[in-house]
A = this chain, B = another copy of it.
Amino acid sequence: MRPVLLSGGSGTRLWPLSREAYPKQFLPLVGEQTMLQATWERVGPLSGQAPIVVANESHRFLVAEQLRQVGAPVPRILLEPVGRNTAPAIAVAAMQALADGDDPLLLVLPSDHVVANVDAFRAAVREASPAAAGGALVTFGIVPTMPETGFGYIEADGAANGVRHVKRFVEKPDSATAQRYLDAGGYYWNSGMFLFRASRVLEELARFRPDVVAACRSAFDSAKRDGDFVRLEADAFAACPSDSIDYAVMERTDAAMVLPVDIGWNDVGSWSALWDVTERDAQGNAHHGDVIAVDSRNSYAYATKLVALVGVDDLVVVDTDDAVLVARKDKVQQVKDVVAQLKAAQRTQVALHREVHRPWGSYDSVDVGDGFQVKRIKVKPGASLSLQSHAHRAEHWIVVRGVARVTRNDDVYDLRANESTYIPIGAKHRLENPGTQMLELIEVQSGAYLGEDDIVRYDDVYGRTGNGA
């Protein structure tokens, strides 16, 4: 059995914590691990095989780094130049599995869901395996606990226990219909988790959507292999129709089966869902960080600095370095309207956090003024920024932790904590961390233009070239 982790989401329903460049699956929203890491840990012991991850090209270093941190076997990371929904993502994952010389069962999992009962989840996977091995396309249906209108439902054929044939898939119901489903039994939430053989899902997809398979085949066969990364060929993948595996295959195939599961599942699809899965105090408050609450109930607060709540009920307050959200818990679906407004205005808060992650570490713009900017820069042990120059800004670097190896034109020298240097406008320079601990330094930029695009790269160990951050 081979895990397939779908990490293509750039969800903004948890904005401002989730941003396009660093979305939900990479955040430790519940517990200390990120959701991607928790997804791997849930499935790793079942399989022993390296996961296949399908991710957005811009998230490649996050995926690799986060899975490395939890000791996962080196994954195959299939990089989508654009998102095309789950049918193409699963198709290329299946092609990769077959290309690796085997025809394993694929355990397909979104990488941004919570499963509270991991034992029950693993037991369900084992229970579904014989059917999948026999050629069925098994989906895991969540036993509903309330008349939820935010999910699609799967109606099972017959009331027996265990893996059953699917009678039909139904769209998100209205609340009366959802109540009827709950009362009737035999209806399950569509969780987006699947178990099927690689060849079988490709076979069925080819029956119903040969165009999808053809486009994926072309993108996969022309992919560039680059270390762990498999870069799907951009034009072919972009030409692939966008479709979900549900529409493309599961709703049409006779091989669809469902295993009802009760595993403490939550898709964490909104701030109120996150409140649902977070431990709460006697007043119903779920608080993260430095929060003082007076006369307040049933609220979720995420604080990066001091947040004080006074007399508020059923509220979501999320404080980040560059944006604060305050929303009524029953109106959090409208967070998407805020994100849409920000996107229309080309505000940075849609895509980036103030702290921006790079393959070599991160930078955080801690102060900005007219003609200057102050950044805190972290460089991982052994990492190196590109050899670069700037046309419009000079930089002062003050090391506050670790060792910096500085290249400035023809000179190379090391700086330790409390030492500084100066990079004039136009100087070719490089920053490296030759040490074994994190390097931290303060950079003061000075110049008429301070945009990230004022950079010429001469050499980059991460394969990035030319202009642009």
Residue ID in chain B nearest A372 by CB atoms: B400
B394 touches A396 (CB 8 A): no
B327 touches A310 (CB 8 A): yes
B311 touches A330 (CB 8 A): yes
Q: Which residue in B324, B328, B370, B374 is a CB contact (below 8 Å) of A306?
A: B324
Q: Determine if A253 is an interface residue (Cβ-Cβ < 8 Å).
A: no
A331 touches B295 (CB 8 A): yes
Q: Determine if A315 is an interface residue (Cβ-Cβ < 8 Å).
A: yes
Q: Determine if A367 is an interface residue (Cβ-Cβ < 8 Å).
A: yes
Known interface pairs A310-B331, A327-B312; A292-B342 also in contact (CB < 8 Å): yes
Q: Determine if A294 is an interface residue (Cβ-Cβ < 8 Å).
A: yes
How many whole Å from A350's CB to the nearest CB in chain B? 11
A420 surroundings in chain B (CB, below 8 A): 396, 420, 422, 444
A306 surroundings in chain B (CB, below 8 A): 16, 322-324, 342, 347, 349
Chain multiplicity (copies): 2
Known interface pairs A342-B292, A367-B366, A401-B371; A324-B347 also in contact (CB < 8 Å): no
The A interface, classified by DSSP as helix, strand, loop or mixed, is strand
Q: Which stretch of A76-84, A170-178, A255-263, A332-340 is in the interface?
A: A332-340
A341 touches B292 (CB 8 A): yes
Q: How far is the CA of A401 from the CA of B440 in the complex (A)?
A: 25
Q: How far is the CA of A40 from the CA of B323 in the complex (A)?
A: 37
How does the 8 Å CB contact mask read for A337-376 relative to B, with 1 for contact and 0 for none? 1100110000101000000000000001011011110101
Question: Number of A residues contacting the other chain (C-beta, 8 Å)?
Answer: 57
Q: Determine if A190 is an interface residue (Cβ-Cβ < 8 Å).
A: no
How many whole Å from A400's CB to the nearest CB in chain B? 4
A370 surroundings in chain B (CB, below 8 A): 401
A349 surroundings in chain B (CB, below 8 A): 306
How many whole Å from A443's CB to the nearest CB in chain B? 10
Residue ID in chain B nearest A417 by CB atoms: B446
A225 surroundings in chain B (CB, below 8 A): none
B338 touches A308 (CB 8 A): yes
How many whole Å from A315's CB to the nearest CB in chain B? 7
Q: Determine if A233 is an interface residue (Cβ-Cβ < 8 Å).
A: no
Q: Which residue in B326, B367, B418 is a CB contact (below 8 Å) of A310?
A: B326
Q: Which residue in B312, B327, B341, B366 is a CB contact (below 8 Å) of A374?
A: B366
A321 surroundings in chain B (CB, below 8 A): 305
Q: Determine if A385 is an interface residue (Cβ-Cβ < 8 Å).
A: no
A401 surroundings in chain B (CB, below 8 A): 369-372
Q: Determine if A131 is an interface residue (Cβ-Cβ < 8 Å).
A: no
How many whole Å from A131's CB to the nearest CB in chain B? 44
Q: Which residue in B16, B305, B328 is a CB contact (below 8 Å) of A324?
A: B305
Q: Which of A312, A322, A444 has the most CB of B within 10 A?
A: A444
A315 surroundings in chain B (CB, below 8 A): 312, 315, 326
A418 surroundings in chain B (CB, below 8 A): 394, 446
Q: Determine if A206 is an interface residue (Cβ-Cβ < 8 Å).
A: no
Known interface pairs A295-B331, A337-B294, A366-B366; A372-B442 also in contact (CB < 8 Å): yes
A-B interface, 9 closest residue pairs, ranked by CB to CB distance from nearest: A311-B331, A310-B327, A372-B400, A311-B328, A366-B367, A418-B446, A306-B323, A398-B444, A308-B338
Chain A positions near chain B (C-beta within 8 angstroms): 16, 292, 294-295, 303, 305-312, 315, 317, 319, 321-328, 330-332, 334-335, 337-338, 341-342, 347, 349, 364, 366-367, 369-372, 374, 376, 394, 396, 398, 400-401, 417-418, 420, 422, 440, 442, 444, 446
